[in-house]
Amino acid sequence: MSNSSEGDSSWTANGQKRVHPSALELGPRKKLTTQDPLVHRGCHFGRAVHAFCNVPTLLTNGIILLSEGGSDTLESLTVDERKEFVAFRELLRVVLGLESRLMASSKEEVVEIGELIQKGINGACADNTKGMKGAIIDWITPKGQALSPHIPRNVKSGRGFNHEHTGALLCPTGLDWTNIQTRTKLMNGEIQVPGDQWPVFLYADYSYDPEDLWNGLLWSGLLVSAYKHIFTSPSSIDHELKATRSGNARIHGMHCMTKASIAYVAMQARFGLTSAQIFSCTDLITDSERFYSSIMELLDDPDESDEVDQLITWWNRQVFPLYTTTE
């Protein structure tokens, strides 16, 4: 099982000459490599469980904790370490047979397994970024109207605070986009928005209630579109049952949403609205990782569990109506 993935890729056996197969074979291109199932599972893990993590490290640390056993070792962990361990256990649950495979593996093999999963996470993230880049323009364009100025689907430079419409959506809740001075400062970078200052597009009807943090939070139509785009298929947004191919949720047996998947989608949507060309989890301009973690922090907060439960229920009805029992 360990190296079955290299089965039919002998043409790259020693990596010395990478000749495009079409130069070697006649006829249509054959599938070169069978993707390791771990990569595939990694895609889902990144989207629905934990987007930003170093999987080899997660595995290595997780194995150590697992072998130590006892619940008192868990108590001694920092908050971050405990979160990492929760993600680790979720990973074991999601990937069938991973636990026994890890236990039978050497340190190096564990790292290799981690890298395969990591590859899936990164690949899925890149694909979703690409897909949303064009689609998000459709969602933010008012029905029957056009954006002015027009934003091309494949260009990002005119977005972010450079555009009236994307700027309004990205404007953090504490600031007033209608104020021309604020707008100028946001545009020229005089005001920088850190990831934990949430943009108004997260709220239902894009309106924020200073008296009530939860009012409309994470209930926006834009987020639902983004969520469907990534999880139930791009075409499921406008029309039911048009797609002839299964979307991500179905492929991965996902019947209900996860907290992390909301944060993931919000992060992707946020990036799609910005003028930033290149997705990076750490850069200071997009600050995507902090944005993601700040949402996760709220959703994981035990004190907020009532609100969060309501939110999840609402989302399940929006996105997975077939699996939600009618009440």
3-class DSSP state for residue 203?
A: strand
C-alpha 184: how far from chain center: 31
Q: Which stretch binds DNA (CB under 7 A): 80-88, 99-107, 119-127, 164-172?
A: 119-127
Out of 60, 61, 105, 129, name the contact with DNA by CB under 7 A: 129
The runs of H, that is alpha helices, within 28-163 are 37-48, 55-68, 71-75, 79-94, 98-103, 107-140
Strand pairing partners for 172? 199
**Contacts with DNA: how many residues (CB under 7 A)?**
42
Which is closer to DNA, CB of 22 or CB of 181?
22
Rounded to the nearest 10°, the torsion over CA 179, 288, 302, 62 is: -170
Of 74, 101, 234, 316, the one binding DNA (CB under 7 A) is 234
- Report how far Cα 237 is from the mean position of its chain's Cα atoms: 18
Contact flag: residue 123 with DNA (CB under 7 A) = yes
Using CB under 7 A as the binding rule, whether residue 39 contacts DNA is answered as yes
Min separation Cβ 44 and DNA, Å: 9
270 binds DNA (CB under 7 A): no
Instruction: Find, among 231, 202, 189, 201, the residue nearest to 318 by Cα.
Output: 231
Out of 63, 243, 256, 312, the only residue in the binding site for DNA (CB under 7 A) is: 243
Interaction with DNA in 50-89: which residues (CB under 7 A)? none
Whether residue 237 contacts residue 229, with contact meaning beta carbons closer than 8 Å, is answered with: yes
Residue 130 in the binding site for DNA (CB under 7 A): yes
> How far is the C-alpha of 153 from the C-alpha of 136, rounded, in Å?
8
Q: How many CB atoms lie within 10 A of CB 137?
A: 21
Q: Which of 29, 72, 143, 188 binds DNA (CB under 7 A)?
A: 29
Asked if 270 contacts 288 with a C-beta cutoff of 8 angstroms, the reply is yes
Q: Which stretch binds DNA (CB under 7 A): 95-103, 160-168, 207-215, 274-282?
A: 274-282
Does residue 241 bind DNA (CB under 7 A)?
yes
Applying CB under 7 A, among 68, 126, 164, 305 the residue interacting with DNA is 126
**Where does this chain bind DNA (CB under 7 A)?**
18, 20, 28-35, 39-40, 43, 122-124, 126-127, 129-131, 133, 154, 233-236, 241-248, 251, 277-281, 283
